[in-house]
Structure 1
Amino acid sequence: MSPARTRLRVLLVALVALAVTGTTTTAAYAEPSKAELTKKIEKDSEQLEDLTESYNKLNEEIKATKAAEAKVDKALAPVRAQLDAAGVEVGVLAAQAYKQGNISAATALLNGGGDVIDRLAYLQQLSRNRQRTVEAFNVTNAKFLDEQAKLHTARQRQDAQKKELDARRKVIEADVKKLLELRRQLYGSAEEPDTGGYTGKIPNISGKAGVAVRFAYNAIGTPYKWGGASSSGYDCSGLMMKAWAAAGKSLPHNAAMQYNATARISRSQLKPGDLVFYRSLGHVGIYVGDNMVIDAPRTGTRVAKRSINIMAPMGYGRVR
């Protein structure tokens, strides 16, 4: 066979082989193991829980700012009434000044650009007896207006922070949703199955702590829900808040703020009803005795009774 025919034969064999095997090679796709997938879901869920607690804290701060604004508005009511009364008095005094021939004073009182505070200076000249009232009014009014301005600035800052947290939350939620969907495709279920509520014996604990513990037991099996604080779903601090609310105690909806709102105790002092804090105050559970806590773990899980050592506790708190 000639060299040319030999080269052609080799080329044809190569082309046939290429057609059979394809033009590209692809690395084999290895599905993640259940353990690997669970670990990633837990990691991303922790990020979401941290963000959730930041979100809850900001909501508590906004709530406090709104309450402060309402308090200032209420305090300003009598000051505003005093302002209105002063306006009427200015009119009366202006008429008196006009009758007495003091045209410049009357004109200033009646045409002060609608600013009663500026015109009050003339009241000091027209009546010494009103001087203290006018000074006290000016000081009080300035104080409340300054407080209002500070609260307004705080609200603007908080609103901006909330928008930023909303954007971050949506990104992480989308990632967790993808992971849960992958888990469903691979293993048949995106979330832990609903096995119903707790059917065992609830320990008989006296006092308000007993009420909180009983609430937590009755919440077992409820789905985890970020920002949740109702029977349709709880996050970790939402469950603590509602459990102690049932006992007549008010806790903020945030693990770190709950840490600050409770009295510090040691592990050896733990009693049912005390709170156990984890992961740099990013998670919290309620102690129910026998080295067990009840908590709302993470996305895709349900409220459960678990070992106190689910992770290393970083602090303990007693509701005051």
Structure 2
Amino acid sequence: MSSARKLLRALVVGGLTAALVAPAAAASAQPSESELTERITKSSTELEKVVESYNRLNEEIKDTKAAVADLSVKLGPLEEQLEQRRAEIGVLAAEAYKTGGLSAADALLHPGGADSLVARLGTVDHLIRDRERQISGFDEAQRELAEQKAVLDSTLAKQTAQAKELANGKKKIEADLAKLYDLRREAYGSPTTAGSSYTGKVPAVSGQAGAAVRYAYGAIGKPYVWAGEGPNGYDCSGLTLAAWKAGGKSLPHNAAMQWDATARISRSALKPGDLVFYSGLGHVGLFVGDGKIIHAPSAGDSVKLVSVDIMTPYGYGRVR
């Protein structure tokens, strides 16, 4: 074989080998820290949406449980009222038997329409008014009891469905957390970032907003805990909830619901204690003045004092 042919063959074989090896090498290349950070940020954002959905469902379940308790309280007196009506009709039936015979008693114990009832009991005129009042009360109590029981049954069914949905949501969050922690371990060598408490000067803010601001500063460095509302860890809406609880105000544990519970204000009107919303109402932080918020960022991180423009704000709310 000529030297030219040998050279050509070496180039072809070498080129083919390079073509086969290069993709494999590229496929096995480890992602850079910046690429991992980008994936972590994306996963954290998606996870926060799931967590906030979980929090909203938890708030709805609280409302459902309160409705069940309220209905249960109402049912007791209704059942007693119905029994009382039955007893009253029994007394009237006995009196009708003595006064007007078996036909009148039978009419009282088996009431039909109001018009036919009056006609059949014409022989006991002195009982008509009492009879109509008692039977009308009996029917009304029976109808109200049936309606309330139907509402209770529906609410209990809703509660069961919500509990199942909540359990499924928890499984998904735990699975997503495991993936996120693996990414953080790969990028930073640890699944979580240790935070440090705030040692600087806390701004002097008066009133209820001041109590909320001081609480938020005290939470700096504590870990993000999904569905957490303190005192050892928080998610975003759990932190704002806990801060304003210290300020004597009640907020739901969900960013979108906190948006609904607050008054709209402009950025120029921001005061310490106001809430700043992000990510299409998927995230919230507490404004503390000087262009900064305190927020619980995401899983694996800790509560931080950061610029209000850490993300593009969605809007601003004042606790009422």
Q: TM-score, normalising length from structure 1?
A: 0.80
The 5 Å alignment of 1:1-320 reads 27-28=24-25, 29-100=28-99, 102-104=101-103, 106=105, 126-132=127-133, 134-136=135-137, 138-139=139-140, 141-143=142-144, 145-150=146-151, 152-157=153-158, 159-164=160-165, 166-185=167-186, 187-195=188-196, 197-320=197-320
CA–CA distance in structure 2, aligned partners of residues 204 and 311 of structure 1: 26
Instruction: Give 1:7's aligned residue.
Output: none
CA deviation string 1:33-75 (max 9, x = no partner):
2222222122122222111111111221121122223223333
Please say if residues 57 and 166 of structure 2, whose CA atoms lie closer than 8 Å, have aligned partners that are also in contact: no
| Residue type at the aligned position of 2:88 | E
Identity of aligned residues (%): 55
CA–CA distance in structure 2, aligned partners of residues 157 and 309 of structure 1: 40
| Residue type at the aligned position of 2:132 | Q
| Residue type at the aligned position of 2:178 | K
CA–CA distance in structure 1, aligned partners of residues 104 and 46 of structure 2: 68
Structure 2 CA distance for partners of 1:79 and 1:158, relative to 1, 3 Å: closer
Please say if residues 51 and 169 of structure 1, whose CA atoms lie closer than 8 Å, have aligned partners that are also in contact: no
CA–CA distance in structure 2, aligned partners of residues 139 and 65 of structure 1: 26
Could you tell me how far 1:133 is from its partner in structure 2? 5.2
CA–CA distance in structure 2, aligned partners of residues 141 and 291 of structure 1: 62
Please say if residues 277 and 313 of structure 2, whose CA atoms lie closer than 8 Å, have aligned partners that are also in contact: yes
Task: Give the gaps of 5 or more residues in structure 1.
Answer: 1-20, 113-117
Secondary structure, counterpart of 1:286 in structure 2: strand
Instruction: Give 2:5's aligned residue.
Output: none
Please say if residues 279 and 314 of structure 1, whose CA atoms lie closer than 8 Å, have aligned partners that are also in contact: yes
CA deviation string 1:253-299 (max 9, x = no partner):
11111101101100000000000011111110010001100111111
Please say if residues 273 and 288 of structure 1, whose CA atoms lie closer than 8 Å, have aligned partners that are also in contact: yes
CA–CA distance in structure 1, aligned partners of residues 237 and 134 of structure 2: 50
Could you tell me how far 1:96 is from its partner in structure 2? 2.8
Please say if residues 79 and 137 of structure 1, whose CA atoms lie closer than 8 Å, have aligned partners that are also in contact: no
CA–CA distance in structure 2, aligned partners of residues 200 and 307 of structure 1: 16
CA deviation string 1:105-130 (max 9, x = no partner):
546767x7xxxxx7998998654135
Please say if residues 267 and 316 of structure 1, whose CA atoms lie closer than 8 Å, have aligned partners that are also in contact: yes
Secondary structure, counterpart of 2:226 in structure 1: coil
Residue correspondences, number: 291
Could you tell me how far 1:193 is from its partner in structure 2? 1.5
CA–CA distance in structure 2, aligned partners of residues 91 and 99 of structure 1: 13
Could you tell me how far 1:101 is from its partner in structure 2? 6.2
Secondary structure, counterpart of 2:24 in structure 1: coil
Structure 2 CA distance for partners of 1:132 and 1:100, relative to 1, 3 Å: closer
CA–CA distance in structure 2, aligned partners of residues 311 and 137 of structure 1: 63
CA–CA distance in structure 2, aligned partners of residues 242 and 133 of structure 1: 53
Instruction: Give 1:12's aligned residue.
Output: none
| Residue type at the aligned position of 2:239 | L
CA–CA distance in structure 2, aligned partners of residues 203 and 123 of structure 1: 78
Structure 2 CA distance for partners of 1:84 and 1:206, relative to 1, 3 Å: same
Structure 2 CA distance for partners of 1:243 and 1:282, relative to 1, 3 Å: same
CA–CA distance in structure 1, aligned partners of residues 117 and 296 of structure 2: 65
CA–CA distance in structure 2, aligned partners of residues 185 and 44 of structure 1: 14
Q: CA RMSD in A?
A: 3.0
Structure 2 CA distance for partners of 1:141 and 1:295, relative to 1, 3 Å: farther
| Residue type at the aligned position of 1:313 | P
Structure 2 CA distance for partners of 1:170 and 1:201, relative to 1, 3 Å: same
CA–CA distance in structure 1, aligned partners of residues 128 and 289 of structure 2: 73
CA–CA distance in structure 2, aligned partners of residues 251 and 144 of structure 1: 34
Please say if residues 224 and 235 of structure 1, whose CA atoms lie closer than 8 Å, have aligned partners that are also in contact: yes
Structure 2 CA distance for partners of 1:234 and 1:258, relative to 1, 3 Å: same
Q: TM-score, normalising length from structure 2?
A: 0.80
